[in-house]
Chains A and B, each alone.
Chain A
Amino acid sequence: MKTLILSSAVLALTAGAALAESHMQTVRLGTEGAYPPYNFLNDAGEVDGFEREVGDEVCARAELTCEWVTNDWDSIIPNLVSGNYDTIIAGMSITDERDEVIDFTQNYLPPAPSAYVAASEEVDVMGDVVAAQTTTIQAGHVADSGAALLEFATPEEAVAAVRNGEAEAVFADKDFLVPIVEASGGELVFVGEDVSLGNGIGIGLRESDGELRETLDAAIQSMKDDGSLNELILKWFGEDAQTF
Chain B
Amino acid sequence: MFSYCADPDTLEGLRWLSCYLTTGKHLSFYWAFGTVLLLLAVTAPVALLFGFGGAVAARSRVAPLAWFGKGYIALVRGVPDIAFFLFFVIALDQGIEWLRHQAKCPDWDQPIRQGNDFVVCAEAKMPLSTSAQWVHEVYGFWLAVFTFAIVFGAFAANVLFGAMRAVPRAQIETGEAYGMTRAQIFRRILVPQMWVYALPGLSNLWMVLIKASPLLFLLGVEDIVYWARELGSTKTPQFTDYPHGDWRMWYFLFLLVFYLGFTRVSEIALDRLMRRLTHGQATLGGGAGRAGMTEAGPP
Q: Name A residues whose Cβ lies closer than 8 Å to a Cβ of B.
A: 26-28, 33-34, 36-37, 40-46, 48-49, 65, 67, 69-72, 75, 78-79, 81-84, 86, 101-102, 154, 156, 159-160, 163, 179-180, 182-183, 206-208
Contact = CB atoms under 8 A, between A and B. Distances in A.
A163 to B, nearest CB: 7
12 contacts: A34-B230, A36-B238, A43-B25, A65-B130, A102-B116, A156-B233, A156-B246, A160-B234, A179-B236, A180-B236, A182-B236, A207-B116
Given A46-B24, A72-B217, A179 B246 contact: no
Nearest to B94: A82
Interface in B124-139: 125, 129-130, 133, 136
B116 A81 contact: yes
B23 interface: yes
Given A43-B241, A83-B118, A67 B236 contact: no
Nearest to A26: B130
B114 A208 contact: yes
A70 to B, nearest CB: 8
A42 B237 CA distance: 12
A26 B23 CA distance: 29
A86 B122 CA distance: 12
Interface in B26-84: 27-28
B115 interface: yes
Contacts of A69: 133, 136
A154 B94 contact: no
Interface residues of B, number: 40
A230 to B, nearest CB: 20
Contacts of A37: 238-239
**Top 10 A-B pairs ranked by shortest CB distance?**
A44-B24, A45-B25, A156-B233, A179-B236, A45-B24, A26-B130, A43-B23, A183-B236, A81-B116, A36-B239
B280 interface: no
A211 B225 CA distance: 38
Contact of A156 (B90, B220, B222, B234): B234
B233 A41 contact: no
A97 to B, nearest CB: 13
Contact of B115 (A36, A78, A183, A207): A207
Nearest to B119: A208
Interface of B: 23-25, 27-28, 86, 90, 93-94, 97, 114-120, 125, 129-130, 133, 136, 217-218, 220, 222, 229-230, 233-234, 236-243, 246, 248
A42 B240 CA distance: 6
Given A41-B25, A206-B119, 14 more contacts: A26-B129, A44-B24, A45-B27, A67-B133, A81-B117, A83-B117, A83-B119, A86-B129, A160-B246, A179-B236, A183-B234, A183-B236, A183-B237, A206-B116
B90 A78 contact: yes
A78 B263 CA distance: 35
A83 B97 contact: yes
Given A41-B25, A81-B118, A207-B114, A163 B246 contact: yes
A132 to B, nearest CB: 17
Contacts of A40: 239
Nearest to A46: B24
Contacts of A42: 25, 239-240
Contacts of A154: 229, 233
Contact of A180 (B129, B130, B234): B234
B117 A43 contact: no
A208 B24 contact: no
Of A78, A82, A207, most B-chain CB atoms within 10 Å: A82
Contact of B28 (A45, A72, A179, A208): A45
A8 B230 CA distance: 53
